[in-house]
Structure 1
Amino acid sequence: MKRRLPPAYQGPLQPRQPGFGEPEVALSELSPNRVGYQLMEKIENRLQLLLLLNFICVAVVLFSLLRPVLVESGILGRSRLTNYLAKHQLDCPAKVDSIEATALNTTFFYSVQSDSCPLHIKGLAKQWPAYAKWTDEFFRECCSDAPVKVEHGRATRFANFLPEFSKKKMKFTAFLDEYTSKARIGTMYMPEHKLPAGLDKGDVPQPSFTSYMSPQSVKIWLGAGEYCSLPHTDYQENILVQLEGVKMVRMVEPTQRAWLYPGGRDTKASVHVPPHYSPVDFHEPDYFKFPLVKNVHFHDVNLEAGDALYIPSFWFHSIKSRPSMIHHDMGRRKSKVHMVNTTESNDMPHSKPNSVRNLAVNWWFPAPHAILDKIFEGLEDKKI
């Protein structure tokens, strides 16, 4: 007698396939116990998947919250490049060096630039024609129809990414009418802009101590009210020259980049910050939100009208601009700076339509190889 082979195994949840000549059996004709077992197994599989997804989500959230603490304590390792830069700081003084413009020569400036250290230059612009010449009345006469790009908004901090700041084009004369208007609400300014047609570059001559460098551009900055730029780094050398008003500049050397959360997120604006920007408020750091900033050493400089500041390439910096009270006497300009207590952000005037403007010029130069070698010295040899 031949043995019957068992039907092909279809799994515990599948009904036996009918043989040749046998009628098919509908699912409804299966026993209730078998149907219930199938449903229970499907539910169990879905519950296991949901539990796994929940576990992954909780793990991601916990890691994002604990990551700054783990990095700061050294439990979580950083990249070799970050570790190397953290151990090889630039040899810059804790306080930014200051020198009178009349005493500054090419040799001294080259040595400072080679070390990639900032330099406060006092009185550089006081002999420039633009220092007394570039009034709003002069701008109306020479370049009133020149097109310019301006920014306007209610916020005074981190204007680069907040959606309430609007950008628009207008004629220079329209900007001059609006930015000094008593009816203006918020901050209005013309960010770094190439010199409008009609302005003479000879009014803001290239500093003599930079004669060995070829400039890339010279740009004008004009505004009224309070303004604080988002911390960022530039790939060029910058000579910031203050013609009117005051600026408070806070800088961080590039070797401390790891503590500044570059390319992070500006939570208020809900946008990603570009990699050469930092979401940290340099002037009022939030150490709870950004605990790594406690490791940073800030270099501060207060620029008055006529002063200049050399900002080396790749240095992070944030600039807070304020107007000053100007009095005209016999055609010569005298400025009296009214500083505001910044212990609390509410002490800062969000807009001062009755106060005068803030005017500056930037000379931009390409970064020399000496600076790049100074910052990243030895990286190639150490294969970092």
Structure 2
Amino acid sequence: MQLSPVQKIENISSEDFIKTYLKPAKPVILKDFAAPESPAFEKWNYEYFKEIAGEHKVNIYGSEIESLDRIASKPIGQSTFSEYLDLITSSPTEHRLFLFNLLSIKPELKNDIIYNDVTKGKIIKWLPFMFFGGEGSVTRNHVDIDMSHVFITQFQGIKRIWLFPWEQSDLLYKLPYNFHSITNIKEPDFKEFPGLKYINGYEAVIQPGETLYIPSGWWHYIQY
């Protein structure tokens, strides 16, 4: 397996972004997709989230390594959102939230983000998601079921994301009739899955304020 670093850019025009990255389906990190003057960069922190939504019940998910051959992993427990934020603040943990979207509970938070929309209006601004995970948690290697273009903006902490084009799906051992790989790509078993020796992808490390563009149909393995 070989990984090349994803390029970081800023101040790109819509025309250049569409021609250089969107149409060729090439990942890139945009340093100014979420405008630096966005209120979110001042307001959003765990204490604020606990204040506005801390009592909401959330399902907690653990390591996905144990369920790579299953369609979906089951929650391992439940807590309040406030308790979960205390957990990921206090120590590394594999515990994640899945399909909990704070922006649907508090839609007014969407007004805290100002986009430098390099897509010329193609981005769906009314349908963003928010993701939470503890240091050390991962999201298994997968392709998004809706095959959408994705822009992941980091607000706290750091994410390391490995990316692979759809054309390498056979080498990644996709679970039949599903959208994720059955392999542990971080600790690959080349004897059982020899195709992993031949994959070529990208590695993106996104810092707070940066946005990773993931083209439609690209595999991505997310590490918090």
Q: For this structure pair, what is the TM-score category when the shorter chain's length is used for normalisation?
A: 0.7 to 0.9
Aligned-pair CA distance for 1:158:
6.4
The whole-number CA distance in structure 1 between the counterparts of 2:197 and 2:15 is 36
Paired residue for 1:109? 17
Matched, 1:280 2:183: yes
Aligned length: 212
8 Å contact kept, 1:191–1:220: no
How many Å apart are 1:191 and its aligned residue?
Answer: 2.9
Partner of 2:143: 233
Partner of 2:119: 210
Q: Does 1:122 align with 2:25?
A: no
Q: Is the 8 A contact 2:94 2:138 kept in 1?
A: no
Find out whether 1:137 has 2:47 as its counterpart.
Answer: yes
Structure-1 residue corresponding to 2:84: 175
Identify the residue that residue 197 of structure 2 maps to in structure 1.
Answer: 294
1:275 Cα offset (Å):
2.3
Q: What is the CA–CA distance in structure 2 between the aligned matches of 1:123 and 1:214, rounded to whole Å?
A: 15
Residues 284/226 of structure 1: CA separation in 2 closer, same or farther (3 Å cut) = same
Are residue 189 (structure 1) and residue 96 (structure 2) matched?
yes
Q: 2:207: which partner in 1? A: 304
How has the CA–CA distance of structure 1 residues 159 and 242 changed in structure 2, closer, same or farther, with 3 Å as cutoff? Answer: farther
Write the deviation string for residues 321-344 of structure 1: whole angstroms up to 9, x where unpaired.
1xxxxxxxxxxxxxxxxxxxxxxx
Aligned residue number for residue 175 of structure 2: 263
Summarize the Cα distance change of 1:309–1:143 in structure 2 as closer, same or farther, 3 Å threshold: same
**Are residues 311 and 288 of structure 1, via their aligned partners in 2, closer, same or farther at CA, if it must alter by over 3 Å?**
same
Given that 1:250 and 1:283 are in contact with CA atoms closer than 8 Å, whether structure 2 keeps it comes out as no
Corresponding residue SS for 1:230: strand
Letter in 1 for 2:212: L
From the superposition, tell whether residues 233 and 152 of structure 1 become closer, same or farther in structure 2 (CA, over 3 Å): closer
- Secondary structure, counterpart of 1:110 in structure 2: helix
Q: 5+ residue gaps in structure 1?
A: 1-93, 265-273, 322-384
Compared CA separation, residues 152 and 192, structure 1 to 2 (3 A): closer
1:142–1:199: 8 Å Cα contact kept in structure 2?
no
Letter in 2 for 1:257: S
* Equivalent-residue separation in structure 2 for 1:222 and 1:163 (angstroms): 17
Question: What letter is aligned with 1:316?
Answer: W
Deviation at 1:261, TM superposition (A): 1.0
The 8 Å contact of residues 241 and 306 in structure 1, kept in 2 or not, is answered as yes
Give TM-score, length-normalised by structure 2: 0.80
Q: Secondary structure at the match of 1:251?
A: strand
Asked if the contact 2:157–2:207 (Cα under 8 Å) also holds between the matched residues in 1, the reply is yes
8 Å CA contact 1:188, 1:223 repeated in 2: yes
Give, as a single letter, the amino acid of the residue that structure 2 aligns with 1:229: T
Classify 1:220/1:148 alpha carbon distance in 2 versus 1 (closer, same or farther; 3 Å): farther
Q: Secondary structure of the residue that 1:213 maps to in structure 2? A: coil
Describe the superposition over 1:142-186 as per-residue Cα deviations: whole angstroms up to 9, x where unpaired.
2334x3533243x47467758685154x5433433444456xx94
* Secondary structure at 1:309 match in 2: strand
Amino acid at match of 1:256: Q
Matched, 1:254 2:166: yes
Counterpart CA distance in 2 for 1:99 and 1:222 is 25
- The residue aligned with 1:44 is none
What letter is aligned with 2:223?
K
In 1: Cα distance, 2:95 partner to 2:215 partner: 28
CA distance in 2, matches of 1:230, 1:252: 13
Flag the 1:140–1:114 CA change in 2: closer, same or farther, 3 A. same
Q: Confirm or deny: 8 A CA contact 2:117 2:123 kept in the other structure.
A: no
Letter in 1 for 2:94: T
